[in-house]
Amino acid sequence: MTQQRRGAVFLDRDGTIARYREYCRSPEEFDLLPGVGEAIRKLNDANVPVVVMTNQSAVGRGWLTMETLSSIHEKMQQELARVGARIDAIYVCPHHPDDGCACRKPGTHMLTKAADELGLSLTESYVIGDRWQDVQTGRGAGSRAILVKSGHPAEPANGTTADYEAPTLGDAVDWLLQQRQQQTASAQTDWSTRYRALAERLYEVRRACPRFAVLGTSTLHPRHSLPADQVELADRPQEDAPWPIPSWPRIITHALKLAVYAAQETANLVWISWHGRGMLRRLSQQPATVVMKTWCFGPQSFDAARDFYYGTVPHQLQAKGISTVVLCGDTRERCDLAFLTAFLREGAVRYVPEWLLLPWWAPMITLCRQLWGALSLRRVAQRAASSSLAAVAATACVNALTPITMRNLLQYHIARAAVKRWNAGAFVTLYEGQPWEQPAWHGARAANPSCRLVGYQHTVIMPHSLAVRRPQSIGKEIAAPDIVLCLGETTRRMIAPGHQPHGNRLITFGTCRRPASRGSARGPRPDLRTVLVLPEGFQSEARLLFRFAMNVAAIMPDHRFIFRSHPVLPFSQVRPHLQRDPAQMTNIEISTRKTIEEDFSRASVVLYRGSSTVLYAVLHGVKPIYVHDAAAPDVDPLFELSAWREGVEAATQAHDRLAAYATGAVPSAAAEWLSAAAYVDQYVIPVDEAAIDRFIDAFRGART
Provide the pLDDT for residue 620. Answer: 94
Of 58-67, 189-198, 391-400, which range is least confident?
189-198
User: Packing angle between helix 403-422 and helix 437-447, nearest 10 degrees?
Assistant: 30
Whole-prediction pTM value?
A: 0.77
Q: In which band, very low, low, confident or very high, does the pLDDT at 702 lie, cut at 50, 70 and 90?
A: very low
Confirm whether 98 is a catalytic residue: no
Percent of the chain residues topping a pLDDT of 90: 65
- List where CATH 3.40.50.1000 sits in the chain: 9-181
CA dist., res. 8 & res. 105, Å (int): 18
Which pLDDT does position 232 carry in this prediction? 86
- The answer to whether 691 touches 492, Cβ cutoff 8 Å, is no
Give the model confidence (pLDDT) of 352-374 as tens digits.
999 999 999 999 999 999 999 99
Q: 473 near 210, Cβ under 8 Å? A: no
Beta strands in 297-388 (DSSP E): 324-330, 350-353
CATH topology classification for 526-683: Rossmann fold (3.40.50)
From 83-92, 123-132, 187-196, 320-329, the region with the lowest mean pLDDT: 187-196
Helix (H) or strand (E) holding 582, with range, is none
Q: In whole numbers, what is the pLDDT of the chain averaged over residues?
A: 90
Domain 250-369+398-508 adopts which CATH fold? Rossmann fold (3.40.50)
CA-CA distance, 305 to 553, in Å (whole number)?
Answer: 39
Helices and strands counted in the chain (H then E): 24, 19
Spell out the residues 6+ positions from residue 297 whose beta carbon is closer than 8 angstroms to its own. 308, 330, 331, 332, 567, 568
Euclidean distance between CA atoms 237 and 235, whole angstroms:
6
Q: Which of 12, 171, 599, 629 is catalytic?
A: 12
Q: pLDDT by residue (tens digit) across 293-329?
A: 999 988 888 888 899 999 999 999 999 999 999 999 9
| Residue 303 bears catalytic tag | no
Provide the β-strand partners of residue 534: 608
Output helix, strand, coil percentages for the chain, rounded to the nearest 5. Answer: 45, 15, 40
What's the half-sphere exposure (Cβ side, CA atoms, 13 Å) at 653? 20
Fold for 9-181, please state it.
Rossmann fold (3.40.50)
H or E segment and range at residue 193: helix 169-208
pLDDT for residue 704 is more than 50: no
Q: What is the pLDDT of residue 178?
A: 86
From 255-264, 359-368, 543-552, the region with the lowest mean pLDDT: 543-552
User: Comparing C-alpha atoms, which of 307, 299, 297 is closest to residue 332?
Assistant: 297
Q: What is the mean pLDDT of residues 163-170?
A: 93
Return the beta strands (E) in 437-577 as ranges.
452-457, 483-486, 505-508, 530-534, 560-563
For 125: left if phi > 0, alpha if psi spans -120 to 50, otherwise beta; the answer is: beta
CATH 3.40.50.2000 segments of the chain: 526-683
Q: Which pLDDT value is given to residue 546?
A: 95
**How far is it, in rounded angstroms, from Cα 13 to Cα 73?**
10
pLDDT one-digit tens code per residue, 497-521: 999 999 999 999 999 988 876 555 5
What single-letter DSSP state applies at residue 479? -
Angle at 132 between CA 129 and CA 137, to 5 degrees: 75
Q: Which of 186, 237, 202, 198 is nearest to 634 (CA)?
A: 186
Q: Summarize the confidence of residues 44-64 as an average pLDDT.
A: 88
Whether the predicted pLDDT of 102 surpasses 80 = yes
Give the confidence band of 186 by pLDDT, cuts at 50, 70, 90.
Answer: low
Cα torsion 672, 674, 679, 683: sign: positive
Tell me how far apart the alpha carbons of residues 362 and 270 are, in angstroms, rounded to a whole number.
Answer: 11
Q: Is the dihedral of CA 622, 628, 632, 636 positive or negative?
A: positive
Q: Which of 14, 45, 130, 634 is catalytic?
A: 14
Nearest in space to 268 (alpha carbons), one of 203, 192, 363 = 363
Name the band, by pLDDT with cuts 50, 70 and 90, for residue 1.
very low
User: pLDDT tens digit string along 449-502?
Assistant: 999 999 999 999 999 999 999 999 999 999 999 999 999 999 999 999 999 999
Q: Please provide residue 500's backbone torsions phi and psi, each rounded to the nearest 5 degrees.
A: -55, -40
Question: How far apart are alpha carbons 606 and 602 in whole angstroms?
Answer: 11
81: which residues sit within 8 A by CB, 6+ positions away? none
DSSP assigned state of 34: T
